[in-house]
Amino acid sequence: MGGFDEEYERKVDEARERARGGARGDVLEYLDLRAANDAARTRAVEWLLELFTAAAGELNRAGAGLALARTDAHRFRVGNSSMVGARLALRRGVRQLTVEAGWPRAPLDGIVRGGGLAAALVGHFGNARAGQELLLLPLPDSEPGWFVVEKTGARTQLRPEDLRRHLARLLD
């Protein structure tokens, strides 16, 4: 994300300095928590995109002919909120699978619903019903994990079968 991340980090550093100067331990504690959450979010977004990228690479070695394009500093909507993160597009002919993952960065961006740390959308061009919404949820005693938000509202942990199903639809 380059410029966006650098500007964001600069503003957080300025807020830290103001909090230190004003003896605001509560603000420093909040900023430290936010930094830890942002680091976990960043790792999880990268992991998700790398998972799809690695699977596409395996398919390409088998002759699938997928084109990959990644966009950083990408904005997308989940509900009424605006997420900032990355977008990975896997394309084969006119078919396209898109993975968007990120989280709100500014107060006006809104929130991640359902207590999530980040959100992701997996979409199929021309077939919105085949897509999935993902939610990054904190897990006790481990790194956060991606969960599929079912149409009923239920949440199930993202499984390798979910990834394979999306890629199979792209290749059909």
Contacts for 70-74 with beta carbons within 8 Å, 24 or more apart? 72/1, 72/2, 73/1, 73/2, 73/3, 73/4, 74/100, 74/102
32-83: pLDDT as tens digits: 888 889 999 999 999 999 999 999 999 999 999 999 999 998 999 999 999 9
Q: What is the DSSP string of the chain?
A: -THHHHHHHHHHHHHHHHHHHTT-HHHHHHHHHHHHHHHHHHHHHHHHHHHHHHHHHHHHHTT---EEEEEEEEEEEETTEEEEEEEEEEEETTEEEEEEEEE--SGGG---GGG-SEEEEEEETT-GGG-EEEEEEEETTEEEEEEEE-TTS-EEE--HHHHHHHHHHHH-
Is it the case that residue 8 has pLDDT exceeding 80?
Answer: no
- Between CA 38 and CA 89 the distance in angstroms is 24
- Between CA 75 and CA 86 the distance in angstroms is 8
Q: What pLDDT score was predicted for residue 1?
A: 47
Structure-token pair, residue 140: 């006790």
89-129: pLDDT as tens digits: 999 999 999 999 999 988 899 999 998 999 999 999 989 89
Lowest mean pLDDT among 15-29, 36-50, 118-132, 135-149: 15-29
